[in-house]
A and B are shown apart, each in its own frame.
Chain A
C-alpha cells in the first residue's frame, strides 16, 4: 500500500509539473479513445438499423390481377411448404389501397381519380432469420418468379447483405485506424513520461543507489502514464457524448426514422468502462515503455 501511495504521489506531482507535455499525451490518448468510441457508436447503431431491416426483411410476392383462384392457391401452397418462409400474410388489393392512403395521404387524391384500384394483391412472406439460408431464399424467389399468376417478386435481403458487408469493412478499417492511434498514443505517453522522468533523475539515481525495489523506481512512470491515458479517455468520453448530443439535436428525427422510430443510442455503460479501461491500459503500457527507456538512457532505473 505504501508503494502505491508513493507511486501515486510522485506520479501526480510529476504529471502536474509536466502538464504542458502531459497535455499532448492526454490529447493523443483522447483521440485514440474518441475514434474507437465513435466507431463503436456508429457501427452499433448501423447494426441496429440493419438488424431492424433484416428482421423485417420480407419477400413480397405480387399476384397479378388476372391470376385465377387455382393459381392463387398454388402460390400460397408453395409458400407454406417452403423451408425458408416463417409465415406469410395476404394483403388484398383493398388492404394495399388502404395502406397507401394512410402512408401517402397527399397522394390519395391521385389514386381516387383512377377508375380502378391499381395496387396488386400480395403475399408478404417473413423469412427464417437463419443467415445460412441466403441461396435457398434466392432459389425460392426464382421459382416463385416463374410461377403462374405471379406478377413480380421483391426480395431485399441482397442489398441488406451488401450494406452489412460495408459495415464489416468499416469496422475493420476503423480497427486499423484505432490500432495506429493507440500505438501513437502509447508512444507519446512513453516519451512524455520519459521526459518527466528526466526531471526526476536525481531521485532515480538515489533510489538506485540505496537499493529501492523496482516497484518504487518504475511504479511512478506507470501510474503517470495511467493518469495521462485515463484523463485522455475521460476527455474522449466527454467529446463523444457532446458529438452524440449534437447529432441527436440536429439529425435526431432523421436518425430515428432510419432506426424505425427508436432513437439512436449512446454507448452502453459497459462500453464507457471498457473505453476508460482502454485509456488506462494504453497509458500504463506507455508508462512502462517510458520507464524502460529511461532505464536505458540514464542507466538509473
Chain B
C-alpha cells in the first residue's frame, strides 16, 4: 500500500525532517509511527497526504507516485484517504451531523447518499444520539469520534492519524484505538503517529520508531501482550 524509497525531506536551512527513509506498509496493515518530538512523524504523514512533496526519493501509495500527480489527481488521491488529527479539526459552527456530512457534500455525493453514509458512520462511532450537538458541547473523546466518522464517511483505503489521542486520557485513548482497530479489521490500512508507547504496547501492532528523520527501530507487535523488538538495518 505504501512504499517509501530513500525518502528525504529537507526544510530551509538544511534541516532534514526525514533522511533517506525507506519503508513498506502492506495493504490492510495497522502501523504505528513513533519517536521523540521532531523525529519526522508528522512530516511523513504530510507527505502521504500530499500536502508537501519529498525533497528526494520516492513515495508510492497504491501504485500512485505522489510526486507525479497533477492538481486534480491530488484531489482524486486525497478522496481515498481519511485523516485524523490531534486537535480534531472540527468546524465549530457546524453540528456533528453537518461536520460529517460536509465531506460527501463537497465531493458531490447525492443527497440521499450523504445522509445514508453520514448516519451509518455516526452510528458506528456511537454518536447517533448527539448528531445535532455542536463540537463545543462534546467531550474530547466524542469530538475525536466525530473526526473519525468524518474520516470514514468517504470509505477511504488508507487512514492517517497524527497523534489522535494526544488530547485524550488513557481510557479514551484506548477506546479511540479500538475504533481504529475495527476500521483496520474491515480492510482499511491504518497509519497512526503517536508518542504513547504504552498505547502501542497495548494495541500490539507493528511500530516504526523514527529519530532525526530516520528509522531507528521496528517492533513487530504480537497483537497482545509481549512485544517483539527487532533492530533494523534495512527495510
A binding-site residues for B, Cβ under 8 Å: 2-3, 6, 202-203, 205-207, 209-214, 216
Contacts and interface: CB of A to CB of B under 8 A. Distances in A.
A205 B106 CA distance: 12
B102 A209 contact: no
B130 interface: no
Interface of B: 49, 51, 74-79, 83, 89-93, 102-103, 105-108, 150, 154
A213 B223 CA distance: 40
B89 A210 contact: no
A210 B91 contact: no
A68 to B, nearest CB: 92
Nearest to B49: A209
A211 B74 contact: yes
Contacts of A205: 89
B92 A210 contact: no
Contact of A212 (B49, B75, B89, B90): B75
A210 B49 contact: no
Given A202-B92, A206-B150, 18 more contacts: A2-B105, A3-B108, A202-B89, A203-B102, A205-B89, A206-B91, A209-B78, A209-B83, A210-B103, A210-B106, A211-B74, A211-B76, A211-B79, A211-B107, A212-B106, A212-B107, A214-B75, A216-B108
Contacts of A210: 78-79, 103, 106-107, 154
A211 B102 contact: no
A203 B79 contact: no
A120 to B, nearest CB: 84
A205 B150 CA distance: 14
A197 B49 CA distance: 23
Contacts of A206: 89, 91, 102-103, 150
